[in-house]
Structure formats: structure tokens, C-alpha cells
Amino acid sequence: MKILRDYQNVPTECRGLVLAIGNFDGVHRGHQAVIREAQRIAAERGVPAGVMTFEPHSREFFAPGAPPFRLSTMETKAAHLKWLGVDVMVTLTFDLAFSQKTAEEFVRDVLVTGFEVAHVVVGYDFIFGHKRQGTTAILNELGKKYGFGVTEIAPVGEETVIFSSTAIRERLKEGDPKQAAALLGHWWEVEGPVAGGDQRGRTIGFPTANIPLVGYHHPKRGVYAVRVGLHRGSHIDWIDGVANFGMRPTFDKKDVLLEVHLLDWTGDLYGQSLRVAFVDFIRPEMKFSGIEELTQQIAKDAERAREILSDPDNAQTRYADKKGLG
């Protein structure tokens, strides 16, 4: 998958493509419907299928002090787009100048002059251009004017639930990553560098990798069964683990941190960037009387994580279909 960060000087092989456009936060099943349609049209035409997204998210740009809300960073988004078989990922910088482009300027400068798009696919709620003035109806009109096709994808869901980033955040806040995964169409993942810590876990037999969740939506505080993705060049090794997300009240900490213990694995993780897939919730965050009680509980948590992760329904490849995630 090629990754482009600009709409100027676009390589020849990336022009004339079919583009799915949106923020695609989480790359959930609704987003996947948009992307699959772009891939279908691209295959019919014999051209590349691309996904255009924006960094930072417009919500972050206009309200930088708001609570973190993102389900995916650019890195995790790229991993899932690669998994879906996307040919080209376009990540454009969303800054003041870009935010002031009118709907027509965005179409003319970015889609037509920059990428010479053959066709564009968007979701039903797609909004673009200065002051959010561009709607899907306006996009259709501009497509006719500039000579490219437009497809709008209707809401996608099952039973009474529409696949949406908001619904997924709610499931995670409730401590239900399995239901979040059902809406995402993949395990919810975070990624970040391993930070230095107190190294207290080493002294009690449960060393942890500490990962600050910068910018991510915060799930319910507590202990989770997880899988940890270790980067091995272009390959990911997934290791079973148990993680605590919270403030570590036993030690009167005030900062929120993700602490991950890899089961049956030893090695140095400092300086590495880890992917962590949340599989199931084990228990809420608790304050213990001391190290001994905490150690006993961690051992129980680790055993419970092994049980959860050995269940075939919780396999890392559960949602992979014909493409292995990672």
C-alpha cells in the first residue's frame, strides 16, 4: 500500500484512481462498506482503489482542548487499510489553510487537479469544505461539472444498531470491547511507544510495558485480556497478554496509563512501538491493601486472560476473513 501525504506532485500511478473519502476513525464496518464499494468500482475500471483521510481529525483541530476521542491514530488506521487491501492511502494535513478551502476548491484542487479522480465514494453523512458547506448533493453536482462519478453509501448496521464511531466509543466506555469489535469488524487496537515506568512489576514477577494513550478515546478503567503486536519488519507477532488501564490506585497514582504484561514472553520492549488489541474485560480497577494482595490478584487476572484468549471465538484472526490482520 502506497501512503501519500500531499495532493501535489502525485505519482502517475496514483492518478485516475477511485477514492473513498472520510475520516474513517476506527475503520469500522460502516467505513468498510464505503471502502469495499470503492474497491469494487476500481476493479471494474482497472484502476487503483484509494482512501483519503485527514490528520489531525478536524474535531481535534477546531477543539484541541477537548477530551481525547479517537479510536485510531494514523498508524493504526494505516494498518487496517492495508489489511483491507487498499492500494493507496492519502493522508492530507488538516490545517488552517486547508480548512478554509471552499467545497469547490477542495474538489478542483485536490480531487481533480491533484488526483484526477475517476470516481469518489463517500458515506451518507459526508461533509466537506469551509464551514462544512459541502454536502453529498453538492459533491454530486461538482462531480458532474468536473467529470467524475460519485457514489453515496447509505447507513450500514444490523438489527437496531448503525455502525458508527459514537456507538463503538459507548461500548468501550461500558467495558465491552467484544461488542465494540463486533461493530468495528476487528479488535479495537491502540498503538504507542513503550515509556519508562517505576519497574515495580519486575519485582513481583509481572513486568509491564507502559503505554500512554495519547489522543485515544479512554475505555473503562480496569483489567483486560489483550494481544500485543510486536513489529517484526513488515510482519506482526501477536503475543497474549493481560493489561490494566487506569490510575493504579494501590500506589496513589494520578495519571492514566495502559500497563501491559505479555504472557510467557521475555525480552526488552523499551523504545519499541506496540499494538495492543483489546479482547475482553476482566474486572474493574481496584485499590488493594498492598503488594501481596495485588500480586495475588494479578496472577488470577493472568489466568483468566489465558482462558479468554484460548477461546476460538476470541482468536486474533476472528475478523480476518481472507486477509490475516497484521
Q: Which of 55-59, 64-68, 221-225 has the lowest mean pLDDT?
A: 64-68
- For residue 130, pLDDT over 90 is answered with yes
Residue 321: pLDDT band (50, 70, 90) is low
Top-level class of domain 175-314 = mainly beta
Here the cell at position 52 is 483519503
Kindly state the percentage of the chain with pLDDT values over 90. Answer: 72
- Provide the residue count of the chain: 326
Mean pLDDT, the chain, whole residue set:
91
Backbone φ, ψ for residue 158 (5° rounding): -145, 145
Spatial distance between the Cα atoms of 172 and 219, rounded to a whole number of angstroms:
5
Residue 87: HSE in the Cβ half-sphere, 13 Å Cα cutoff = 19
User: Residue 326's pLDDT is what?
Assistant: 37
Quick check: pTM over 0.85? yes
pLDDT confidence of residue 161 = 87
Amino acid at 221: R
pLDDT tens profile 85-105: 999 999 999 999 999 999 999
What residues contact residue 64 under an 8 Å CB cut-off, 6+ apart? none
Q: Which one of 3.40.50.20, 3.40.50.620, 2.30.40.10, 3.20.190.10 gives the CATH number of domain 2-158? A: 3.40.50.620
Q: Which one has a higher pLDDT value, 266 or 182?
A: 182
Q: Is 237 helix (H, G, I), strand (E, B) or coil?
A: strand
Can you tell me the distance from the alpha carbon of 235 to that of 233, in angstroms, rounded to the nearest whole number?
5
Count of beta carbons in the 10 Å neighbourhood of residue 61 = 16
The three cell numbers of residue 305 are: 486472560
Cβ atoms of 72 and 312 within 8 Å: the answer is: no
Beta strands in 154-198 (DSSP E): 157-158, 161-162, 188-193
Q: Residue 234's pLDDT is what?
A: 77
Q: How confident is the model at residue 322 (pLDDT cuts 50, 70, 90)?
A: very low
Contact 107, 36 (CB under 8 A): no
d(CA 119, CA 108): 14
Residue 286's pLDDT band (boundaries 50, 70, 90)? confident
Closest CA to 6 of 91, 73, 104: 91
Mean pLDDT across the stretch 32-61?
96
Q: What is the pLDDT of residues 147-171, one digit of tens each?
A: 999 999 999 998 788 999 999 999 9
Q: What is the DSSP string of 25-42?
A: TT--HHHHHHHHHHHHHH
pLDDT tens readout for residues 168-215: 999 999 999 999 999 999 999 999 999 875 555 555 568 889 998 888
Contact 218, 212 (CB under 8 A): no
The enclosing H or E element of 51 equals strand 49-55
Average pLDDT over residues 250-261: 76
First to last CA, the chain: 13
pLDDT(325) > 50: no
pLDDT of residue 90: 98
Residue spans of the domains in the chain: they are: 2-158, 175-314
Q: Which residue reads 486474533 in cell numbers?
A: 316
Q: What are 182's three cell numbers? A: 463486533
